[in-house]
Structure 1
C-alpha cells in the first residue's frame, strides 16, 4: 500500500512548481503584452506627433497590430524549439525575451527628444514582444495539457487563461493606481513608463521559476525527434486550418471585450480613466471566477457543447451589450461582465482542445503557426478596427464584424470531432 501512495504524492509535489512556473510566466507574458493597449491613451503622443490625439492613438494601435505580425514567426521558432528541445526551454526563452522588450519600451526616448527614432524603437520592441508571444501561448498550453490528467484536462487548461486575464488585470490595476495618484500631465510625462519597467523586473522572477520546472512526461517519453518537420505539418493541415477557424472568433471578441475595452472607453467613449479601469478589473474577476466551471463542464459533457455555448451565445448578446455601454463605468462593467461569461466558456478550454488535435512530436509548432496567423490577422487589428470603425461607421458596424467571426468559429466547431478525455500520444 505504501508503494502505491508514494508515486501520487511525488507527482503532486512535482507538479506544484510546474503549475506555478507555467501560471506566473504566462501571467507576466500577458501583463507585458496587455499593458501596451491599456496605456495607449497615455503614451501615444510620446512616440508620435502630438498635433492630433486620435492620429497618435491610431498610430500606436497600428504598432500594436505590427507586433502581431511577428507572432507567426515567433510561433514557428519557439514552437520548433518546444517540440525539438523541450517545452521548458521554449517557455523560459519566451518569458525572458518579452521581459527585455518591455524594459526597452520603459526606457525609450520620446518623439520630442529623438523624433521618428522613438517610433522606430517602439516598433522594434513591439516586434520582439510579438516573437515571444507567438511562442509562449502554444508552449504553455502544450505544457499544461501534457501534465494534466486526461479526465481533468479541461479544468486544468482553464489555468492558462486565468493566468492571462490575471496578468492583464494586474496591468489594469496598476493603471488605476497610477491614474489615481498621478495627474494627467504626469501620466503622459512618465507615469506610463512604470508598468513597462516593472514588467522587466517581473521577468527575472518568472525566468527563475521556469528554470525550476521539469519537462513533461509526455514529451520525455516521445524523445527528441530529429525527423523532418514539414511533412508532418502538411499531414496535419486539416487540423491547422481548424485551429485558424476556431481561433478567429475567440481572438477578436477576447481582444475587443477583455483587453482593449477600457482603453476604447477612455479614448472613444470619453469615460473617466479610473472608472473605465475599475470596470475592467471587476469584469476580469468575474471572467477568472467562471473559467474553472466551464473547464469542468467540458470534462463532463464534452468540448464541443461548451465551445458552441461560447460562440453562439456570445454572438447573441453582443449587440445588446454594445447598446448597454454608453457613458458611465457601471454600464461598461455590466457589458464587459455579460460578454465575459460567454467568452470564458470558450477560452477556458481552448488549450485542451488545441492539444488534443496534434501528436506530441508537433503539438507545439502545429498549434503555434496557424494560431499565430489567426491572432496576427484578427487579434492584432481588433483594437485598431474597434477605434477606427467606431469613429467612422459607428460601433454597431464593428460589433457586426465580431458577430460574423464568432459564427464562423461556431461552424468550424460544429464540424470538429469530440476529443474529451483523449490520450495525448
Structure 2
C-alpha cells in the first residue's frame, strides 16, 4: 500500500491523483442516487403493484428515503475506519459496496415475475448503497481537504460537488438519450436497467484507480504522534468532545440538502410524473442547469479562499430563502424553459454553499475524528431532510399543498444562516 512519510508535502502528481481518484468515486455516488430519482417514474411499476401508478411511485420514493436512512450507519462505520485505519481504505471499501448495490438493482427481477420479492431486492440494494455512500462522501472529502493546499482548500474541495454534479449530469444525459432513442415504453420495459448496470461497471474502474492513491500526510502524522493503534473508543470520545461542531454540520446541511434535492431530483421527477411535461425536454433543461452549476462551483470556492467561508454561506441561505416562492411559481408555470430557468437560478445560489461545505466541515474537526465527525452528523441531516425531500414534495404537491414544503425549506435555510452567523470563520485553517 503506498503511503506518504510524515513531514512529506504532497507532490503535484499525488494531488492530481487525489482529484481524479476521489472525483470518479464521488461522481459514481451521485450518479447512483440521481439515476434512481430520474428513473423512478419508469421503473416504479416494475418493483411494485402496477395497478396504482401514484402508489407505486410513492413506494419507490419511500425506498429512496430509506436508503438515505442507512447513511448515518455507513458514515459511522466507514468514518471510524477512515479515522483509525486510513482514508484510502475506507474509500476502497465504500466504492466496492456502492457498485454491488447498483448492479443488484440493474439485474433484479420484476414484480410481474416474482411479486413482492422484487420490492425486497430493491430495498436491500438501496440499503447497501445507502451504507456505502454514507461512508463515501466524508471519506473522500476529508481526503481531499487534507491533501489540498490550505490557501486553496475552498477551490480544491469544490471538486467534490463538481464531480458529483458531473455524475448527475451523466445520469441525466443518459436518461434523456434513452428517452429520445427508445421512448417511454422501452424505458419502462427494460431501459431503466441500463444506467444501473453502467454504474456498477464504472465502480470497478474507480476501485482500480483508488488503489493507486497515497494516504494523507495529516493522517500519517496523527498516527505517528499517537501510535499506530489508537484507543478503541477514541473516535466516539472525539465526537462527543466536538459535539458543537457536529451540531453546526447538521444546522448547515439541513437547508442545503433540502434545497439541492428539491431542485435536482424532486423538481424534474414531479414535472415528468405529475405535471406530465415531456421527459426528454425536462431532462435536457436539467442538463443546462447542471452545466452552469458545475462552472460556478470552482469560482465560488475561490471566492471563499479570498473572502472567507461565511459570505458564501450567507448568500446561499438568505438568497434562497428570499427566492424560494418566486422560483416555485416560475417552475410551476407550465413551460419547460421556465422550469429550467428556475433550476438554474436555484443551483447558482446552491453553488455558493456546495463549493465549500467539504472545506468547512473538515476545518471544524481535529484529524483523529475528522471523517467520523464530518460524516455522521452530515449523514443524519441528509437522511432526515434530504432523503425525504422527493417523497414529501411529491406527496404535498399531489394534495395541492406545495406551499407548505416551500415554507419548510425556508425555515431550514434560516436556521442554517443563524448557524453560520454564530459559528467561527475557518478559512485556510491548518488541518494537522
Q: Does the alignment reach a TM-score above 0.5? A: yes
Tell me, yes or no, if the aligned pair for 1:275 and 1:328 is still in contact at 8 Å. Answer: no
- Aligned residue for 2:5? none
* 1:274 alignment partner in structure 2: 280
2:27 is aligned with 1:27: yes
Q: What residue is the counterpart of 1:403 in the other structure? A: 410
Q: How many residues align structurally?
A: 418
Q: Does 1:107 align with 2:114?
A: no
Give 1:394 shift: 2.6
The Cα offsets for residues 123-170 of structure 1, whole Å up to 9 and x where unpaired, read as 000000000111011111100100111111111110000111110110
Q: 1:369 maps to what in 2?
A: 376
Q: Partner of 2:177 in structure 1?
A: 177
Aligned-CA RMSD value? 1.1
2:335 pairs with one of 328, 331, 337: 328
Structure 1 residue corresponding to 2:299, chosen from 293, 296, 299: 293
Residue 225 of structure 1 and its aligned partner are, at CA, apart by 5.0
> For structure 1, which segment, 65-74 or 317-326, has the greater mean C-alpha deviation from structure 2 after superposition?
317-326
More deviation, 308-317/254-263: 254-263
Question: Which residue among 348, 354, 361 is the counterpart of 1:341?
Answer: 348
**SS state of the match for residue 11, structure 2?**
helix
- CA deviations on 1:36-69 (whole Å, 9 max, x unpaired) are 0010010000000011111110000000000011
Shift of 1:344: 0.5
2:90 aligned counterpart, secondary structure? helix
**TM-score, normalised relative to structure 2:** 0.95
Aligned-residue offset at 1:33? 1.8
Give CA deviations for 1:194-213 in whole Å, capped at 9, x if unaligned. 00000111011100010111
1:422 is paired with a residue whose SS is coil
Which stretch has the larger CA shift, 30-39 or 227-236? 227-236
Q: Distance in 2 between the 1:338 and 1:95 partners?
A: 32
- The CA distance in 1 between the partners of 2:195 and 2:236, in whole Å, is 40
CA-CA distance at 1:30 after TM superposition: 1.0
Give how far 1:220 is off. Answer: 1.2
Q: SS at 2:360's partner residue? A: helix
Contact 2:266 2:394 in 1 (8 A): no
Aligned to 2:136: 136
1:316-337 Cα deviation digits (max 9, x unpaired): 1111111111222111110000
Distance 1:69 1:51 in 2: 28
Cα deviation 1:222-258 (Å, max 9, x = unaligned)? 1145122222211111111111111100010011112
1:355-375 residue CA offsets vs partner (Å, 9 max, x unmatched): 000000000011111111111
Task: Specify the alignment match of 1:226 in structure 2.
Answer: 230
Q: Indicate whether 1:255 and 2:258 are aligned.
A: no
Contact 1:270 1:327 in 2 (8 A): no
253-262 or 85-94, which moves further after superposition? 253-262
Which residue of structure 1 lines up, in the alignment, with residue 321 of structure 2?
Answer: 315
Does 1:387 find its partner at 2:391?
Answer: no
Tell me if the contact between 1:81 and 1:90 (Cα under 8 Å) persists in the aligned partners: yes
Which residues of 2 match residues 50-61 of structure 1 at below 5 A? 50-61=50-61
Q: By how many angstroms is 1:261 displaced?
A: 2.0
Gapped regions of structure 1 (runs ≥ 5):
1-6
What is the TM-score with the length of structure 1 in the denominator? 0.97
CA distance in 1 between counterparts of 2:421 and 2:167 reads 32
Equivalent-residue separation in structure 2 for 1:363 and 1:352 (angstroms): 11
State the Cα distance separating 1:267 from its structure 2 match.
1.0
CA distance in 2, matches of 1:170, 1:292: 19
Q: Deviations over 1:265-292 (max 9, x none)?
A: 1112211100110011110001011111
Cα distance in 1 for partners of 2:143, 2:264 equals: 24
Paired position in structure 1 for 2:4? none
Check conservation: 1:287, 1:344, Cα contact below 8 A: yes
